[in-house]
A and B are shown apart, each in its own frame.
Chain A
Amino acid sequence: MARREDISKLPQDMRELINLVTRYAAVEIMNDLADAGPEWSGEFQDSWVAVPVGTGASGSTGGGYPYSLGDVPSLSTSIRETARVKKFSIENTQPYAAYALDLEVGEFKKIGRPAGDVVREGSRPVPGFRGDVTAGGGKAESTAELDWYTRYVNSEMGQAIGRGVTFGFRAKR
């Protein structure tokens, strides 16, 4: 946590800017995750939420893809909450999220046709990981590459945060 003594010296409008930048970054990350992840019915894509870690936030969280600033709660500008380093937890509310994120093995049943583009067709081990589809000999379909989530968090999320900072500053000009 940043030192509260230092935060207390920040004027109110600077604390509001920090919150705005954080919210814009959350929006960018939610949209990236929705865009990069699987899209079968669209339900998973529309289920990203930014849950405030601290107290005193206002407004609702979650909405639908594409997400906007109104889908991310405003944070308290109290000294305590502005000093908090971890401000949001970005989560997917679907009970099957761990399978969609390729974090757990599961057994998958195809229902209907996917709304999103199919990136792989073929066979998937049973049980197996959602994105573990290899060409030939099956009717399994995947709408996001295997380990899309891990790749995003490890190598692309930083750019979304950078965009959030840019958009936040522009909005306050």
Chain B
Amino acid sequence: MRYQEIRATIESPIQTAFGALSPAVPVFFDNITAAPANTTTEYVRVNIAFGVTTETTLTSNLDFARGSVIVRVYSEKGKGPARSQTLLDTAVTTLLGLSASTRDGSGIYMRPGAINGPTFSTTEASPHLVGRIDTSFVAEDQD
């Protein structure tokens, strides 16, 4: 099981999509320190968690993983939800695009599940409105 390949299959298109926005929005992945607290700069955090790696009853291929992707977008508070939702649109479109992988005997076959959200939260002291979506995924290492 190549966890890193699965992670890259998810992270790379997200990085590319937010990098293509004008201005580009920085994306922080697991184990990378995010933007400093209390900055009003917008940014995105992506967490990938693996759940079940092998499910013998599901498929004969043991290189099969389930997990979840959580995307949080931090946009400026007090300016309405529009910007947050625009950023979430980018995330949703990118996650849906992960379904393009095919069962062709090589690489990672990836299928995201239903996308939950968005939900929004903030606190009085927070400079950000945080929008959040999550989805499950199944990934099969075909190599």
- A residues lining the B interface (CB < 8 Å): 98, 103-107, 125-129, 134, 145-147, 150-156, 158-159
Q: How many A-B residue pairs have CB under 8 A?
A: 66
Identify A126's interface contact among B34, B67, B72, B125, CB under 8 A.
B125
Q: What residues of chain B lie closer than 8 Å to A156, measured between beta carbons?
A: 51-52, 66
A125–B126 Cα distance when bound, in Å, is 10
- A125-B37, A147-B70, A159-B52 known; A154 vs B125 contact (CB < 8 Å): no
B41 within 8 A of A: no
Size category of the B interface is: 20 to 34
Q: Is the CB of A154 within 8 A of B123?
A: no
B111 within 8 A of A: no
Chain B window 74-118, contacts with chain A (Cβ cutoff 8 Å), 1 for yes, 0 for no:
000000000000000000000000000000000000000100000
Q: What residues of chain A lie closer than 8 Å to B37, measured between beta carbons?
A: 125-126, 128
Identify B126's interface contact among A98, A127, A134, CB under 8 A.
A127
A157–B29 Cα distance when bound, in Å, is 25
Looking across the interface, which residue of chain B has its beta carbon closest to that of A146? B47
Identify B66's interface contact among A107, A125, A154, CB under 8 A.
A154
Q: Is the CB of A150 within 8 A of B70?
A: yes
Q: What residues of chain A lie closer than 8 Å to B121, measured between beta carbons?
A: 98, 103-105
